[in-house]
Amino acid sequence: MSRSAFSERFTKLVGKPVMNYLTQWRMQFARTRIQETSEPLSIIASSVGYKSEAAFCRVFKRRFGVTPGNFRGPKTQFQPAP
């Protein structure tokens, strides 16, 4: 199957283009990890497929209206071991 045929079929079945679906899935997974762990944002960004933390933060803010650091809040901010 060609890429264009796959993309067209995926959009018909899922209701949104492949990249939009993938970005939505990545951001939902990242949001859960930010809420439930104290992992550094760079680790979370990498785990959901972003090569740079900055790119991840831009997409996260565009999706949720707040930066990942502000979403996490000050009380759960990652603190490196002394």
pLDDT in tens, 64-75: 999 999 998 765
Other beta carbons within 10 angstroms of residue 79's beta carbon come to 7
Residue 77 confidence (pLDDT):
47
pLDDT in tens, 25-47: 999 999 999 999 999 999 999 99
pTM of the model: 0.77
Domain 3-66 matching CATH 1.10.10.60: the answer reads yes
Q: What is the DSSP letter of 65?
A: S
Residue 47 confidence (pLDDT):
95
